Amino acid sequence: VMGRLSLANVILVVCIAFYLAALALDPSAILRMRGLMDLLSPSGAALYVLGMTGKFAIAEGRWWTLLTAVFLHGSLLHLAFNMAIGRRYLEDVVELYGGTRAWLIFIVAGATGFLMSNLASGAPTVGASGSIFGLLAALIVYGRRTHQHTVAQQLWISAAMMFAFGFFMSGVNNWAHAGGFAGGFVTAEALAFNGRREHPVLVGLAWLLALAVA
């Protein structure tokens, strides 16, 4: 079902909708621009209301923020970059694994990334980049398991470059990137390709996670 609806488009629309909702909750934040990276940045208060995660969220028992924070973004450039890169990888993972498995990889990777971030640093955080690293890991798993070693090696290089890039920019959550990659890798390893046939248990789990996000 998710494949037919175009999972990439659904996630894109949801992320844009929540970005606009965050701006609408606190319009004054639009004027508080400190630089290009802060262009049209929602306020921390608005992101908190919509499901930002961090050590504070876990202390408050807001476990669901591990899921909701995946669909929130801290600025226009943050949203645009994640959606451009994420769409590319997500479409590839849907093609190789099927829509249900791709959704499971995406959301489990994102939640795992935020869990690692909350345990390691605890800083308030949002964004789909952990999920994107998980998608990249899933492509590496596919390349390795299908003996496409050159492709897998190129993807490893891409992952390393993207991870290294995070150290040269402020505000980048490298813990979430590392956790997302690990979560995506393990989830992809646990899923059989099986001709992309979607097992009822996986479909049920996918819808359960979608409802949890909602």
Catalytic (active-site) positions: 129, 177
Residues 43/49/53/56 CA torsion (nearest 10 deg): 100
Rounded distance between C-alpha atoms, residue 153 and residue 148, angstroms: 9
Rounded distance between C-alpha atoms, residue 210 and residue 14, angstroms: 12
Strand, helix or coil at 95?
helix
| 163 exposure class (CB count in 10 Å sphere: 0-12, 13-18, 19+) | middle
Q: CB under 8 Å to 41, separation ≥6 — which residues?
A: 29, 30, 32, 33, 74, 75, 76
Residues 4/93/90/183 CA torsion (nearest 10 deg): 120
Question: And the tokens for 172?
Answer: 């980048």
Distances 26 to 30, 53, 81 between C-alpha atoms, Å: 8, 18, 23
Crossing angle between the packed helical segments 7-25 and 99-120, to the nearest 10 degrees: 40
